[in-house]
Each structure stands twice: as C-alpha cells, then as structure tokens.
Amino acid sequence: MSDFMKKFSLEGKVALITGASYGIGFAIASAYAQAGAKIVFNDIKQELVDKGLAAYEEKGIKAHGYVCDVTKEDQVQDMVAKIEKEVGVIDILVNNAGIIKRIPMCEMTADQFRQVIDVDLNAPFIVSKAVIPSMIKKGHGKIINICSMMSELGRETVSAYAAAKGGLKMLTRNIASEYGEFNIQCNGIGPGYIATPQTAPLREIQPDGSRHPFDQFIIAKTPAARWGETEDLQGPAVFLASDASDFVNGHVLYVDGGILAYIGKQPQ
C-alpha cells in the first residue's frame, strides 16, 4: 500500500459506533472493519446487542457489543472504561444512535419532545464527553455525528427531530472549536433518504403499477433520482475517520444525492 493510501487505513484503530446493531450504524461499522478498525458498538437491550453480534459474525467481523443507554451518563462512563480496559482507547466515535417521532408539533407532548432531544442531542454530548479525555492523552481522535438533512431543513411532524439534529450540527462545530488544538476532529455526516427496511413500505410499487407518493416525492427532489443505499455512506464515513481528513474539522458532509443543492422540478 502506498504512503498516500495508508492515510485512509484504520488499521489498529478502535471505533465505537453507538446503536450499530443494524442499519446505517451497522454499514459504517462494517466499512471500518474492512479498513482495519476494531469494532465496538452498544445497544439499549441485550437482545439487540446479541442480534448485532450475530450479524457482524455472519460478515466475518469480530465486534465487541455492550448494553448501554447512551442518555445515561453513568452507564456511558462505565461502558467507555470497560472498552478501554477490554479493547483499547477509543480512536473513533460515531454518534449514530437516534430516534424520530413523527407527530404534529401541537399534538406532541413536552415529554415526547424531550425524549427525542435526549437521544439525538444529549446522548452525543454525553458520549463525546466520555471519550475526549483519553483522545487528548493519546494526541488524536475522530468524532463523527450522524446529522440529517433536518440539520438544515424543516418538515411537517418532525419538530423535535429537526431541533435535535440542528443542535447536533452546532455541537459538532463546537467540539471542533474547543478540542481542535488537541488534534481531535469532529465532523458530521448528513444522510439523505436511505433505502433501509424501515423505509421499504414507502418504496413499494402501488397496485396500479405507480410509485408510492412519498417515493415519487423523493425521486423528484433528488438530482441523483434514486434513494441512497447504506453503502453510499461508507466511503464518507471512512474518510472522516481516517488520517486523510486531519484538517477537516467542524464540517457536515451531506450524503444526499444533491437534495440540499436542488430547488426541485417545476410542476408540469
């Protein structure tokens, strides 16, 4: 491997990806494993951790799974201490765990709003805070926050999610501002609309052979004219975790097929 290509290697690095039993987190963790990283993930229940471990094993990846609620600071501190002891100091953190509640704002309770903020914004603060001290000691670190197009745009029924993801964009910039001098880079990835099992019903062909209305809407709004695949996030995630991005800090990389750049098609 050339010296240049070595910059993209994650050989020997320890990567913690929160909530990575499946979906986007699993795809990112799988890419990191192929790039040479040791994979650590958590989930909120043992059964989810076990499912994740089985899925990694099926791909030939040796992953380390921990049960941890990332909104609870004591649990997170305990998990990070265990990881440092059992696997090694965390070099790469991906704050991937997240939830969304699609409820019109005036029908949403304050507790429901707080729950989304807790998982999508407070948890990245708590987990980042837990890993930064050891990154400072080691002299380097990468933190990648999974932001969203809702870090930039609003939409009906997602007031809490958009507020959290907008806040996460600014937390990303602030971690970069506060800890950049310690050779810690904090960036975000903003996925577009990604084809996952959860979005499959929105992509089903209708009985008359037409696309689902939401599918039509997304295709019309996306210059790439398709949904993203979880694989589309792997290259950007490896880049932001690698030495190749050492002077990229406080940036959100939108992997959205061009949606944010596009005003949309003129109605026929």
Q: What is the pLDDT of residue 47?
A: 97
Q: What is the pLDDT of residue 89?
A: 98
> Which tokens hold the place of 199?
């979005």
Residues of the chain with pLDDT under 50: none
Q: What is the pLDDT of residue 147?
A: 98
Per-residue pLDDT tens digits for 227-244:
999 999 999 999 999 999
Per-residue pLDDT tens digits for 48-83:
999 999 999 999 999 999 999 999 999 999 999 999
3-state secondary structure the chain: CCHHHHCCCCCCCEEEEECCCCHHHHHHHHHHHHCCCEEEEEECCHHHHHHHHHHHHHCCCCEEEEECCCCCHHHHHHHHHHHHHHCCCCCEEEECCCCCCCCCHHHCCHHHHHHHHHHHHHHHHHHHHHHHHHHHHHCCEEEEEECCHHHCCCCCCCHHHHHHHHHHHHHHHHHHHHHHHHCEEEEEEEECCECCHHHHHHHCCCCCCCCCHHHHHHHHHCCCCCCECHHHHHHHHHHHHCHHHCCCCCCEEEECCCHHHCCCCCCC
| From 56, 66, 161, 254, active-site residue | 161
Q: What is the pLDDT of residue 1?
A: 78
Q: What is the pLDDT of residue 61?
A: 98
Q: What is the pLDDT of residue 170?
A: 98
Q: What is the pLDDT of residue 198?
A: 77
> Which tokens hold the place of 25?
């987190």
Q: What is the pLDDT of residue 267?
A: 76
Q: What is the pLDDT of residue 199?
A: 84
> Is 161 annotated as catalytic?
yes
Q: What is the pLDDT of residue 93?
A: 99
